Amino acid sequence: MKILAIENSSFVLSVAIKKDNLVIEENVFSKESCQFIISVLNSLLERVKVNIQDLDCFLVGLGPGSFTGLRIALSVVKGLSLVLRKPVVGVGSFLALAEEYSFLNKDVCIITDAKKNLIYGGVYRKERSGLVKEIVAPKLIKLEDFLKKYAKRNCLFLGESLRFKEEIKAIYPQALISSPLHYPKASFLISAGLDKFLKRKFLNIDSAEPLYLHPLTCQVRR
């Protein structure tokens, strides 16, 4: 089993490849590298000596997050899927971040800056099965509203929560806010999406879209 993952929802580009039961390579690049994403992927495959034709699947982070980053990543895997006739699995970017910290066995509250005085926020929990589940789906919302309606005092706050430390502490003085800023990694995108791959829950690449939570202001005009 060989899987290539691309996560491009945050302030970095993360790519990883899984071979059999091991992530054999993961690289993180500055956001500017998005312009050369095909070269980045080719270099990764060359280093690990995997032929792109031998890949079984592509995984891609669907957001929420950077509109341009998400659109680029999904466009790339759509194109590769069409040319190579390989399936694509889409995974929520917040789910991948929650997966990384699932070993703590705490509810995870992820907050990132959505601009315009809004945040993206979601809540996740590790089930007894070992899978991480979405308790509160990502929302585009005011920070105070999210904290009062959906967050919990015993959550671990991740993502860009450190930027909102004062606001969070004002409502939850004992809140656990992890530092530094966290971003979803492609390796944990694979962990979060492996169950979908095994159950063959693939994206329809003709209709697949990233998770755009700014639908009226962030869309490609046709």
Residues 6+ apart with CB under 8 A from 48: 17, 19, 24, 25
Is the entire prediction scored with pTM above 0.75? yes
Please state, in angstroms and rounded to a whole number, the distance separating the CA atoms of residues 109 and 140.
Answer: 14
3-state secondary structure of 177: strand
pLDDT exceeds cutoff 80 at 33: no
Evaluate whether 2-93+184-198 and 94-177 have a shared fold. yes
pLDDT tens across 1-21, in order?
A: 999 999 999 999 999 999 998
Please state, in angstroms and rounded to a whole number, the distance separating the CA atoms of residues 152 and 133.
Answer: 16
Fold of 94-177: Nucleotidyltransferase; domain 5 (3.30.420)
pLDDT tens across 119-132, in order?
A: 999 999 999 999 99
Fold of 2-93+184-198: Nucleotidyltransferase; domain 5 (3.30.420)
Per DSSP, what are the bridge partners of residue 124?
A: 108, 134
Q: Which pLDDT belongs to residue 127? A: 94
Q: Which pLDDT belongs to residue 119? A: 97
pLDDT tens across 111-162, in order?
A: 999 998 999 999 999 999 999 999 999 999 999 999 999 998 889 999 999 9
- Taking the domains of the chain in order of start, what are their residue ranges? 2-93+184-198, 94-177
Q: At what angle do helices 67-84 and 37-47 cross, to 10 degrees?
A: 60
pLDDT exceeds cutoff 50 at 222: no
pLDDT tens across 87-109, in order?
A: 999 999 999 999 999 999 999 99
